[in-house]
């Protein structure tokens, strides 16, 4: 399965995907494009080191959302991507992209949806909210993407205990290492193996031999 990975920052989750492909834990998957919303994202350098085609598509460089949406759609379809993976991508995708890749876009969110999610909940903010709320567990969620922030069907979640001496920064690091970088490659593999069915906004993991996400 050909995948495009969309990024905005350092690309640690991109690196995790590349590492799992390299050690063949993630198999039958090829990254055909890395697209960044920022010219300064270190994820671009990670892509270059692995000879993966990369480019920048920044919303602020287009006159309106429709033009940005069209440029993103052209880049994704032109790359041959079958699945779009948002790995720390901070921009909301436009309706053309979401419609064309319906049930073929996934995102990793650094909290257990429906907690600490939605517009503005990115980076350190979900972890600050978790510490402030005093939750005892937190984690990460892989979900399919629709037109709204963090509202698509949930595919995988993984949790860890929130320690009494955790800070937002320490919690962020542990969730990244112990949750995000574990379940994101797992989710990609499930989809590549045709084991994901979506029905009534819920996902089910099946044992079928299909090579595409099925939707009822």
Residues involved in catalysis:
109
The tokens of 53 are what? 């085609």
**Tally of CA atoms within 13 A in the half-sphere of 158 that contains its CB:** 16
């Amino acid at each position: 399965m050909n995948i495009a990975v969309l990024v905005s920052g350092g690309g640690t989750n991109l690196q995790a995907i590349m590492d799992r492909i390299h050690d063949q834990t993630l198999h039958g998957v090829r990254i055909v494009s890395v697209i960044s919303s920022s010219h300064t994202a270190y994820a671009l350098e990670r892509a270059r080191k692995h000879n993966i085609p990369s480019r920048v598509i920044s919303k602020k460089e287009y006159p309106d959302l429709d033009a940005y949406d069209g440029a993103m759609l052209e880049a994704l379809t032109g790359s041959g991507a079958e699945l779009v993976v948002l790995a720390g991508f901070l921009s909301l995708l436009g309706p053309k992209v979401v419609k064309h890749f319906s049930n073929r876009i996934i995102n990793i969110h650094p909290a257990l949806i429906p907690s600490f999610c939605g517009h503005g909940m990115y980076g350190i903010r979900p972890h600050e909210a978790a510490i402030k709320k005093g939750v005892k567990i937190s984690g990460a969620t892989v979900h399919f993407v629709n037109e709204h922030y963090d509202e698509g069907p949930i595919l995988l979640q993984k949790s860890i205990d929130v320690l009494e001496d955790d800070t937002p920064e320490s919690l962020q690091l542990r969730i990244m290492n112990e949750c995000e970088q574990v379940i994101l490659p797992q989710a990609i593999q499930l989809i590549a193996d045709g084991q994901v069915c979506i029905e009534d906004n819920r996902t089910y993991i099946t044992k079928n031999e299909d090579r595409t996400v099925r939707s009822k």
